[in-house]
Amino acid sequence: MASTTTTHPSTASTREARPPRSVSVTLILSFAAVVASFVGATCYGELRARQVERAALNIEGDAAPSIRRLANARTELRRVQLLVHRALDEGGASRRVPEVESGRALLHNELAEYQGLPMQDQEQRLWPTIQAELAHLDADVSAVLQALRRGDETTARARAEDLDESSERVADRLSEAIDANVIAARQLAAFIDASRRRATIWAALLDGAGVVLAVFAAARGLRVVRAHTRLVLAYREVAERRADELEAFATRMAHDVRTPLAGASLSLEVIERHAPSDERVQRAVKRARGALKQTGKIIEGLLAFARAGARPEKDATACVADIAEELAVAMRPRADQIEASLEVRAGSHAAVACAEGMVASALGNLVANALTYVEGSPRRQVAVDVTEDGGFVRTTVSDTGPGLPSDVDPAGLFDPYVRGEGARGRGLGLGLATAKRIVEAHGGRIGVTSTAMGAHFWFTLPRARENERPRAPA
């Protein structure tokens, strides 16, 4: 006898709406995979961030101080050598003796400070040699000073020649130690860059897997779509936090750049103080000071840009024409080196609504890029034109280089880490991307045109309001 079963309509609807067991298992596994990729990306990012932080601390606490101490020691070595020769050539030996003793003491103090820092294997192998050469140097200095005190100029000059030879040997050993620290710093910097790239690749892979699984699950029903949306929003929040952490790391690294700049500034002071009458040296020092000043402006501008979350500084103004002139002065030695002309044609001195450091960074990248590509060309000319374009100031950097290859997408040049085939220099492909980010963040546009006669990179920035004036240089 057949039996009949009566089912309530609402119960049937509920059962039909409930997904089969296989679908539920699929959804659970999909959600689990999405969560696993999310957690994996976070953990892997944290691991890489710690490794990057350790490498950065090694640069800050070991390589950079060692380079600074060794460079100072080499400076004091040359100072001692110079004072000895002045005592022999200009007379006044009794007055120069205390100065030589003081310079020798400063040399030993710098090396003592260096010895107190952690040493790498190569430095440990070099240190006994440095000590041995330093002992010869001390003996030669003492012999020269004794001869000067006795008034025996002949012996003093003979021992001064020995002093020159021992000074060169010590200087060579110090340079080898500096090179060892520079290599170590470069290796750590390369490790930081590789870690960042690997973290980006793995994060992209894990993120991609999570998105695919979330989309697959979303096709199973509205509840899965909502769950996927929540996961995407949650991940976006984590990604923004990671970006903020990387921004903070970049800020710390920018601060660390100031240390070698300070050392370079001190070295320029020493050179300027000991060669007051040499016009060529004074001109070189003046150019170097201008370059350091321009670099400081760029660092300060980038720091302000980073602290503001890559947002423009309120009420900041700058004169593009003036900044272009300063950049031309700073980059003229590079242009002279490749026998190229660098010209600024200021058709406008209007102020733009952008900080000076930001303008200098964007324009400096374009000018440096142009100088790189005119090298080796029959005509080597780079020109910076500043003109007004409605409510904007237009800046164009033209060169007589080979121009862009026909298969290159001009818009793609401004993407991060993009380097075309045959690209010159050792850059990472971030210069044009940095310029684009700065210009667009301030409401401007950037682009490039190219012919067989060369390339023309341009950008526009909005003019400042009439009641705003460019800030005076610091």
The per-residue pLDDT for 458 is 96
The per-residue pLDDT for 137 is 86
Final residue of a structural domain among 194, 224, 246? 246
Q: Report the 3 state secondary structure along the chain.
A: CCCCCCCCHHHHHHHHHCCCHHHHHHHHHHHHHHHHHHHHHHHHHHHHHHHHHHHHHHHHHHHHHHHHHHHHHHHHHHHHHHHHHHHHHHCCHHHHHHHHHHHHHHHHHHHHHHHCCCCCHHHHHHHHHHHHHHHHHHHHHHHHHHHHHHCCHHHHHHHHHHHHHHHHHHHHHHHHHHHHHHHHHHHHHHHHHHHHHHHHHHHHHHHHHHHHHHHHHHCCCHHHHHHHHHHHHHHHHHHHHHHHHHHHHHHHHHHHHHHHHHHHHHHHHHHHHHCCCCHHHHHHHHHHHHHHHHHHHHHHHHHHHHHCCCCCCCCCCEEHHHHHHHHHHHHHHHHHHCCCEEEEEECCCCEECCCHHHHHHHHHHHHHHHHHHHCCCCCCEEEEEEEEECCEEEEEEEECCCCCCCCCCHHHHHCCCCCCCCCCCCCCCCHHHHHHHHHHHCCCEEEEEEECCEEEEEEEEEECCCCCCCCCCC
> Are 60 and 207 within one domain?
yes
**Residue 155 pLDDT > 60:** yes
Report the percent of the chain where pLDDT is more than 70.
71
Tell me if 458 sits within 8 A of 447, measured CB to CB: yes
Position 347 confidence tier, pLDDT thresholds 50, 70, 90: very high
Final residue of a structural domain among 246, 280, 301? 246
Span 11-38, average pLDDT: 59
The per-residue pLDDT for 225 is 57
Nearest 5°: phi and psi at 470?
-60, 140
Rounded Cα distance between 353 and 312, Å, is 9
**Residue 410 pLDDT > 50:** yes
Identify the weakest region by mean pLDDT among 13-27, 158-172, 441-455: 13-27
* Residue spans of alpha helices (H) in 308-355: 320-337
> Are 242 and 325 within one domain?
no
Report the percent of the chain where pLDDT is more than 90.
17
> Are 112 and 203 within one domain?
yes
> Are 176 and 44 within one domain?
yes
28-42, 155-169, 357-371: range with highest mean pLDDT? 357-371
**Residue 343 pLDDT > 90:** yes
**Residue 100 pLDDT > 90:** no
Report if residue 304 sits inside a domain.
no
**Residue 470 pLDDT > 60:** no
Mean per-residue pLDDT over the chain, rounded: 77
Report if residue 470 sits inside a domain.
no
Report if residue 285 sits inside a domain.
no
Rounded Cα distance between 263 and 72, Å, is 8
What does the pLDDT look like over 238-285, one tens digit per residue?
A: 645 654 654 565 566 565 665 666 667 666 777 767 767 777 777 777
User: What is the tally of structural domains in the chain?
Assistant: 2
User: Residue 126 sits in a domain of what CATH number?
Assistant: 1.20.120.1730
Position 80 confidence tier, pLDDT thresholds 50, 70, 90: confident
Span 26-35, average pLDDT: 71
Strands 392-399 and 454-462: what pairing?
antiparallel
Rounded Cα distance between 148 and 92, Å, is 10
Give the residue numbers spanning the domain of 97: 22-246
Identify the weakest region by mean pLDDT among 43-52, 291-300, 306-315, 446-455: 306-315
Position 14 confidence tier, pLDDT thresholds 50, 70, 90: very low
Query: 90 to each of 94, 95, 160, how far by Cα in Å?
Result: 12, 11, 14
The per-residue pLDDT for 2 is 40
The per-residue pLDDT for 11 is 39
Rounded Cα distance between 433 and 436, Å, is 5
Choose between 386 and 156: higher pLDDT: 386
**Residue 419 pLDDT > 70:** no
> Are 71 and 187 within one domain?
yes
The per-residue pLDDT for 190 is 84
Report if residue 286 sits inside a domain.
no
Report if residue 274 sits inside a domain.
no
Report if residue 282 sits inside a domain.
no
3-state secondary structure of 272: helix
Identify the weakest region by mean pLDDT among 112-126, 284-298, 431-445: 284-298
Rounded Cα distance between 320 and 395, Å, is 8
User: Residue 325 sits in a domain of what CATH number?
Assistant: 3.30.565.10
The per-residue pLDDT for 24 is 65
What does the pLDDT look like over 199-246, one tens digit per residue?
A: 778 777 777 777 776 777 667 656 655 666 777 677 667 645 654 654
The per-residue pLDDT for 297 is 59
Span 31-38, average pLDDT: 72
Position 385 confidence tier, pLDDT thresholds 50, 70, 90: very high
